[in-house]
Structure formats: structure tokens, C-alpha cells
Amino acid sequence: MRLVWVLDTNDLGAAADFWCAVLGFVREEGDHPVYLALRDPAGRWPDLLLQEVPEPRAGKNRMHLDMVVHDLEAETARVRALGARVVRPAFEEDGHRLAVLGDPEGNEFCLVERLDGTLGP
């Protein structure tokens, strides 16, 4: 089995630009007009498959990405500069500092900093 994340989008190109910059992934060009695969060049993480859909995102995400980072403020500033918006500013919870952000289409993701300074298991 191989795990692949799928994210609906209204604009494949803009979503690919954003997520490649955030994750350090590369595009895998294909010949299907409504899908675009993004891959981790180091092969550590599952692919992110973008799927172009006509309807806008509605409601809360039922699944989202958490990115564990060493410096929450620096990473928040970096992804905001790439087009993310803050949905919920930094807060502490259960040994973590985290912030909820949205990509340019509003898909939510979290940046998480562990208070013990590690990236976790």
C-alpha cells in the first residue's frame, strides 16, 4: 500500500505553486487535465495529489495537514509570505504551540512546534 494525500482545488497551477513552495515538493507533470501530483524529491513523504474541482471549498476541512516545525513564528511568517492566511493565531495545547492557517483557497493546515524542542517520533 502507498499513501497519497488528495486536495481539491479550483486552480491547479496556483495550488501547485503554493504547496511546492511550502513543502519543498516538485511537480510531476502528467497528461491528465484535472490532476497534478506533487512529490517529495527526497521520497520521505506521501505525494500530494491536487484535483481540480469546479465547486469552492465549503465548511471545515474534515482532514488537514499538520507540519511539525522547530520555529513556529518563522514558519508562520514564511508560509504567510507564500500566500497563507492565519485562521487561528498561535496558542498552546498539550505540550505544543500551534497555529491554524489556510492556503490561498482556504484549505486549513496547522503549524506545530513541540514545547520540548523536538520534531517528535
Domain that holds residue 67: 61-121
Q: What is the pTM of this model?
A: 0.92
- Write out pLDDT tens, residues 69-114: 999 999 999 999 999 999 999 999 999 999 999 999 999 999 999 9
Quick one: 21 and 68 in the same domain? no
Cα-based distances in Å from 41 to 20, 21, 116: 11, 13, 29
Quick one: 16 and 48 in the same domain? yes
Quick one: 2 and 47 in the same domain? yes
* Residue 55, C-alpha cell as written in the block: 465547486
Which residues lie below 8 Å from residue 78, measured CB to CB, with a gap of 6+? none
Which pLDDT does position 44 carry in this prediction? 93
* CATH code of the domain in which 11 resides: 3.10.180.10
